[in-house]
Structure formats: C-alpha cells, structure tokens
Structure 1
Amino acid sequence: MRLAAIDIGSNAARLLINDITTYKDGSLDFTKVNLVRVPLRLGFDVFEMGLISDQKIQDILEMIRAFKHLMKVYKVEDYRACATSAMRDAGNSAFILERILAETGIRIEVISGSMEAQILYETHMAETLDTSNAYLYIDVGGGSTELTFTTNNKVVTRQSFNIGTIRILKDQVSEDNWDELKTFVKTQVRSALPIVAIGSGGNINKIFSLSKRKPGKPLSLESLKEYYKEMHPLSVAERMHRYGFREDRADVIVPALQVYISVMRWAGIQDVFVPQIGLADGIIRTMYQSRLKNSLMLR
C-alpha cells in the first residue's frame, strides 16, 4: 500500500510518501519512497500580521499543485493533508483552504494542538525502548510545542503550547507562555520511573545529525547546552557558513534548543532520543490504521 502525508507547518511544509508492507513475521514496514520539504515559513506572516499574505497564498497553491502531481506520478493510493499552528491562527485560513480545495481538489484539515500531539505519539517512537523508563515526547515546531508524557506505553497527559521557534524569533512568546509550560512540566511530568525524552522536529533532527551519534543513541542535556552555547552568539550567516545550514534552519535552531533545554531541565531529564520521525510519519501511520479498521468492519 502506498500512502502520502502532507504536513503544512509554521516553518515548512512536507510531502511524505511511504510504502507499507507486511513482513513475514507480521510486522509492518513503513518505507520512505520520497520526502519533499518546502520552506513556506507561514509563521512569519501569521505571528506578526495575523494573516497569510497574498504572495504566500500563491506559494501554497503552487506547492499543493506540485504535491498533487507528485502523488499522481508515484501512484499514491490515499493521502491526508494537515495544517498546524500557523494555519490555526491565520485569520484568513478558511478562505485559503476553500480556495485550495476549489483549485486543486486537495482537502486540507487544520488540526488542533492536542490532535497534533496525539498523531506524533502514534508514530510509536517508544515501542522499541526500555519499558523501565517513562517518556516525555517533545515536538518543537515553528508555532507550537507539543508534549506527551507516557508510562508503560500509556498516555498520562498531553498538552500543546503556543511556544514555537518562529514565535520566539518574532518576540510573540510572553512570560506567561513560558510560565504555563514550566508549570505543566513541573506538576504533570512526574514518575517513580526514570524519565527520558523523545524529541521530534527538524531542529532536533539536525542537531542529532551534527552529533554523528549512531541511531538509537541519545543526546545528553549537556550536549544540547553545548550546542546552544556554541550557536547562540553566531549570526544567521555565520551558522549557515559554519554548519552548512539553510537560512530557514539557521535562524530557528537556537530557539528550538532553548525550548528543548528548558523542558528537559524542568523535568529533570538528562537524555533525549531522536528517532528522526515527525508529524508526517504519524499521519501515515494513523491513516493506515484507519484504513485497516474500516476494511475489517466491511468484512
């Protein structure tokens, strides 16, 4: 089965195409066929003006047409398109979504922060990890941060916060926002078991790649602090030159580190695993489970 996910975030949009096959032992393999990332940067419009500009609307339309063409070329059987924080906050989002549907036939669903956290959890990142630990899923995006706390592979609590990298860059995160996040972590993220973090999002993925750690090995809180200390004084151009970052990564990676470090410090967490799985992966997995459930009901 070949499925696709479109994830329209505050910093970038992605099209992920996966093949889903069943191995001889009954396990499922989700194999990436293609991943396309477009730095739309909707948050720079929305978090400053409250709207998505006409130019950005044209960019979205061109991108969706391209994604539709790619899905046709790759013979995708089904897709789900989701938009997150920037589209949630945009005053003209309903108009934009209606126009996209009318001009391309692609229906985009604006999902809540809670739903975003739930879909991320559905990537089952912790399935292969030690059940003697509790886990805090941390996803830092351009517009929001999603936290999901689990023990024994069961969700204890989840919450979405309007603290994202672009909001921080635009000085749109208040002390009250930070206090809300801090209070949640200190009061809700508690366990008799040791707590380990699981990080998702493009910024933590990039830090993991820079670290050259082997897959399955965690990043320490101390290493994140060192990267922050190293990168924070540099200009965007200097980060681009020194690390080979694109501009749309060089400006947001430092505020992302700030969020990860703060959450881990408040929770007393020393390590974060980075499975390099994101919202698009979760969208495909939830789609597959939904299709499987519907097919069983029709039998």
Structure 2
Amino acid sequence: MPDDLQHLRLTEPPLPNPALPERPAQVHGRFAVSPAPAYAALDLGTNNCRLLIGSPTASGFRVVDSFSRIVRLGEGLASTGELAEPAMDRAVAALAACADKLFRRPIRQFQAVATEACRRAGNGAAFLARVEAETGLRPRIISAREEAELAMESCAPLLEETDRRALLFDIGGGSTEIAWIRVPPRGSRLPGAPTAELIGYISLPLGVVTLAERAGASCFTEEGFHAVVEEVATHLLAFDRVHCIGQEIRAGGVRLIGTSGTVTTLAGVALALPRYRRPLVDGRTLDMGMADQALGDLFALGRAGLAAHPCVGPDRVDFVLPGCAVYAAIRHVWPLPALTVADRGLREGMLLRMMRADRWPGARAATSRRAVT
C-alpha cells in the first residue's frame, strides 16, 4: 500500500537535543547535523521492508520521507528453518535503497529492527551481518514483547478518555501480536510517561506469509478459511482466560485496535475507496457491521477479484484471506461493537519513543530498561 505523507499527532511534542548518534563505521562516519533534525525508523519484517523519516512539529511529527517494499524475507522459512538466498537478496536490495535515503538526509536519531523472520531463522544473525557489511545498516532483532510494545506506542494516540483498556492486534507476515493494554487516567500520568501500559501480550507464530504457505489455496474455500479461524481462536481463548478479557469487555470501556495490512484493507473495502488513501483510513473507527460486510465482500471476490481490487492488488492477493481469517478469530473471541483501524506500526512506535525520550530524559532510561527485559 502507498505511504502517504502526512502529520501524526503525538502525546507530547518533542524538544531539540544536541546529541547525534554515530553512523555505522562502513558509511562515511556520521549523520549530518540539521537545525531541524529528523528521526528515522526502519522495520524489516517477514513480508515487508519499511522506512519512515519524520521531523518534529509543534503538534507531533511530519513524515518527510518513507519507503515500503514487499521482500518476502520469510519465504520458505516455515519449512526449512532458514532464510532463503533469493529472499535475502531481495531484502538486502530494499535495505540498500533505505540506506541511500538515510545517508542523503540529515538524521538525528535512527533505529532499525528485525522481527519474526530473523528471530526464527537459523541463519538470521548471519544474514544481518551481511546486511551491515553491504549496506552499513544494523537492524536489531527485537523480542515479541518489544514488538507488541512498539505497536502499542504507535497506536496510543488513538486512545480516548473513556477507554479503560485496549485490545491491540498486529497481524504480521510471520506472527500475530496481541497486546492487552491498560489506559491510565490522564490526571494520574507523570510527565513523559507512556499513555498506555502493557498488561500482557501473546505472539502467535501465525502470520499472513506462514499461513499462506501452509494453507495455500484452502483459505479461498469456506472449509479452509474456517479451519484457520478455529486454530487461531484456540490460542486466543487461552490468552483470554489468563487476563479475563471477556469479562472486562462486558464491563465496558475496552477499545479494539487493529494495525496491519489486513485491517487497513478491510477499512478500504468498507469505505468503498476507489484507491487506498491512508488519511481516510488511519484512526477511523468502523462499526462491526461494516467490518463484517467488508470481510464477506473480500472472501466473495476470489483470487482474480482480489488481484484486481484497488485496495489489494496482485502482490498481496495470497495474503489477504489468511489475514482475514486471523481477524475473524479475533472478532469471534472478542465480539466488541467497533474496530479502530490504525495504519501505523513499529516504525511510528520507534519514532514516538525516540522523540519522547529526547523531550523527557527520564523516558529514555525507561525505554532502555524495557528494551533489554
């Protein structure tokens, strides 16, 4: 999907910080100093390589550049346990394009992370060493917990005063993260403190790439689709029992937030967009009736219809229905009346974290402690 340039609202606007990070030794020594510094975040996932560069503003940050490419890094990983050479070549080419963008622009702080594919692959560390040697970038493999935290950080601005809890799901290429979140009352928050707290999380080794490879064409049939729904629901019910989420939902004040290509596609279909437009989707709350209808419409399209749809396209045709099956399981286990759609994720979470840490030095220490636990 295209990354439209636009403004994202922050909880706290960042302030300048004179410190500049070291650039990787292989690439010209340092990032350039800028009077209006930009922050950059890179997310190397199982299916996509994404870069986001943002510059602070009075009300948040402005996206000044972005990059997104489907690389299918996790292709074949489920069957071999290793990253395949063609997949690594595609990812290195995308990362080289990101490095070119980064090294031509003044950057104040930069973070790069790698997720499920590199966590699971036997040759994940060797691949990242190759990435550093060939591009100068050094993505850090993060835990499933930190992945959930970053998704939570990016979506926290979508929470409202009436929310007591939030249930956030991120359907990725190689895994699905579910975060159960406490929303502290606004009057009780310390300056610089996060606006949401992670109560619990679960990472399912079921993402759109792994499910597409395993289930294949069966997801285009009712029987195959519902088999995936039931498998995912079994994992979710165990998580529900631990945290009594259903009970909290019945008490009210729980918001369901979804962040992934699956959810934004559902929103694009529900809103009947002639082409996908992020400003019309990000932060939009859909009545569940609309979301359910969109899911049914996507399933009814079949492979040819999905490939031709302006919110899907041929590159994503194999991944949409596996993702919809994961969403349907979430919808079945936790029948909330509405879904808030977030076209944001780890990159936005990293930017928000860096900017908040610059404004509130105490938040930097707290962030560092979270990153190593």
* TM-score above 0.5, yes or no: yes
Gaps of 5+ in 1: none
Matched, 1:211 2:270: yes
Q: Which residue of 1 aligns with 2:299?
A: 232
How far 1:162 sits from its partner (Å)? Answer: 1.3
Question: Which consecutive segments of 4 or more residues in structure 1 shift more than 6 A?
Answer: 172-176
Q: Residue 256 of structure 1: SS of its match in structure 2? A: helix
State how far apart, in whole Å, the 1-side matches of 2:302 and 2:319 are: 12
Q: What does the per-residue CA deviation read over 1:8-46, in whole Å, with 9 as the maximum and x for residues that have no partner?
A: 11111101111113x2xxxx4111112211100122221
Q: Residue 154 of structure 2: SS of its match in structure 1? A: coil
Alignment CA distance shift 1:227-1:270 (3 Å):
same
Q: Which residue of 2 aligns with 1:7?
A: 43
Q: Which residue of 2 aligns with 1:165?
A: 208
Q: Residue 94 of structure 2: SS of its match in structure 1? A: helix
- State how 1:34-183 maps to structure 2 within 5 Å: 34-126=65-157, 128-152=159-183, 153-171=196-214, 178-183=233-238
Q: Residue 81 of structure 1: SS of its match in structure 2? A: strand
Identity %: 25
- TM-score of the two chains, using structure 1 as the length reference: 0.87
Q: Residue 276 of structure 1: SS of its match in structure 2? A: coil
Q: How many residues align structurally? A: 293
How far 1:171 sits from its partner (Å)? Answer: 2.2
Amino acid at match of 2:210: R
Q: What does the per-residue CA deviation read over 1:175-223, in whole Å, with 9 as the maximum and x for residues that have no partner?
A: 7664222221354224123422011112212222333367644123333
Residues 143 and 163 in structure 1, CA contact (< 8 A), matched pair in contact too: yes
State how far apart, in whole Å, the 2-side matches of 1:215 and 1:296 are: 26
Q: Residue 199 of structure 2: SS of its match in structure 1? A: strand
How far 1:144 sits from its partner (Å)? Answer: 1.1
Q: What does the per-residue CA deviation read over 1:146-197, in whole Å, with 9 as the maximum and x for residues that have no partner?
A: 1112233433222222121112112277976642222213542241234220
State how far apart, in whole Å, the 2-side matches of 1:295 and 1:155 are: 19
Residues 228 and 258 in structure 1, CA contact (< 8 A), matched pair in contact too: no
Q: What does the per-residue CA deviation read over 1:240-274, in whole Å, with 9 as the maximum and x for residues that have no partner?
A: 11445232322212221221221132122121111
Alignment CA distance shift 1:226-1:144 (3 Å):
same
Q: What does the per-residue CA deviation read over 1:45-77, in whole Å, with 9 as the maximum and x for residues that have no partner?
A: 212322111122222222222111111223222
State how far apart, in whole Å, the 2-side matches of 1:290 and 1:296 are: 5
Matched, 1:288 2:319: no
State how far apart, in whole Å, the 2-side matches of 1:216 and 1:295 are: 29
- Give 1 or 2 for the bigger CA radius of gyration: 2
Matched, 1:198 2:257: yes
Amino acid at match of 2:53: I
Gaps of 5+ in 2: 1-36, 184-195, 216-227, 272-279, 365-373
